[in-house]
Amino acid sequence: MKLILLGAPGAGKGTQAEFICDKLSIPSISTGNILREAVKNGTEAGKAAKSYMDAGALVPDEVVIAILKDRIAADDCKNGFILDGFPRTVPQAEALDQMGVSIDAAIEIDVPDAVIETRLGGRRVCEKCGASYHIVNKAPAVEGICDKCGGKLIVRKDDQPETIKDRLRVYHEQTAPLADYYRKAGKLHTVDGTQEIGAITAQILKILEA
Ligand code: AMP
């Protein structure tokens, strides 16, 4: 099964990818996570990506396409994979087609901008271990402190209010057209991303069984 999850930043793609990859025993691939790791490790790709990521802009296609191509060539991808955050532009989708990757389904998780702004604005991450929290939906036991390791909770640079607006603008301009791209290919399914998390997972699994 080769699956693409589409949706705005904060639509819940990462959460759903984790649940579904568990159920289907295929890896979930997040280009955002791979890029953050590359930035942390100071690799060439990381150096090329950092300023774009901090500004809420997209990393250039050629950088991300090369990373993705490498990742899906790995052994654990031979029975399929879930792509979370790739493709994000039409040229990236075309590159995937040119690699000979035949997608089974593109699932769009639809969430209104106002909901996204509240979700991302409340997100906190541990600067030490990377664990993720939300001031309303998943608050830590002690405000500002990580439950797992006692590290300090911070707002990710790209979750600052102004950057969130930029990320949403970029999403509507460059990523939202992908819904049409996959609709024309007969692969698009849209789910309501404001539902309870378990209900969204159930709906996605039902689509995949059909
Ligand atoms: P994410 O965690 O998926 O929101 O990704 C974080 C950041 O990584 C994005 O705001 C982009 O700067 C960059 N990024 C992740 N995936 C892609 C992609 N497919 N194309 C371009 N930039 C990406």
**Could you read off the pLDDT of 6-50 as tens digits, one per residue?**
999 989 998 899 899 999 999 999 999 999 999 999 999 999 999
> What pTM was estimated for this model as a whole?
0.89
| Ligand 1 atom closest to Cα of residue 55 | 12
Looking at residues 125-153, what average pLDDT do you find? 93
The pair of structure tokens assigned to 26 is 């295929």
11 pocket-lining for ligand 1 (C-beta < 6 Å): no
> In a 3-state reduction of DSSP, which class is residue 62?
helix
Catalytic residue among 123, 138, 152, 169: 123
Residue 132's pLDDT band, with cuts at 50, 70 and 90, is: confident
The pair of structure tokens assigned to 108 is 């769009």
**Active-site residue 123, yes or no?**
yes
Minimal-distance CA residue to ligand 1 atom 19: 86
Q: H/E element holding 107?
A: strand 105-110
CA distance 53 to 139: 26
Q: How far does the centroid of ligand 1 lie from the alpha carbon of residue 15, in Å?
A: 16
> How many angstroms separate the Cα of 165 from the Cα of each of 141, 161, 208, 209?
29, 7, 32, 36
**Active-site residue 124, yes or no?**
no
The predicted-structure confidence for 50-67, as pLDDT tens digits, reads as follows: 999 988 899 999 999 999
* pLDDT over 90 (residue 155): yes
CA distance 76 to 28: 10
Among 58, 119, 163, 166, say which to mutate for ligand 1: greatest number of ligand atoms within 8 Å of CB.
58
> How many angstroms separate the Cα of 76 from the Cα of each of 4, 20, 70, 80, 202?
17, 16, 12, 8, 25
**Active-site residue 156, yes or no?**
yes
Catalytic residue among 128, 156, 183, 187: 156
Catalytic residue among 2, 71, 124, 167: 167
CA distance 210 to 207: 5
Q: Where does 10-124 have alpha helices with state H?
A: 13-24, 31-41, 44-54, 61-72, 90-98, 113-121
88 pocket-lining for ligand 1 (C-beta < 6 Å): yes
Q: How far does the centroid of ligand 1 lie from the alpha carbon of residue 84, in Å?
A: 10
Whether the Cβ atoms of residue 44 and residue 60 lie closer than 8 Å to each other: no
**Residues 6+ positions from 150 with CB-CB distance below 8 Å:** 128
What pLDDT score does 17 carry? 94
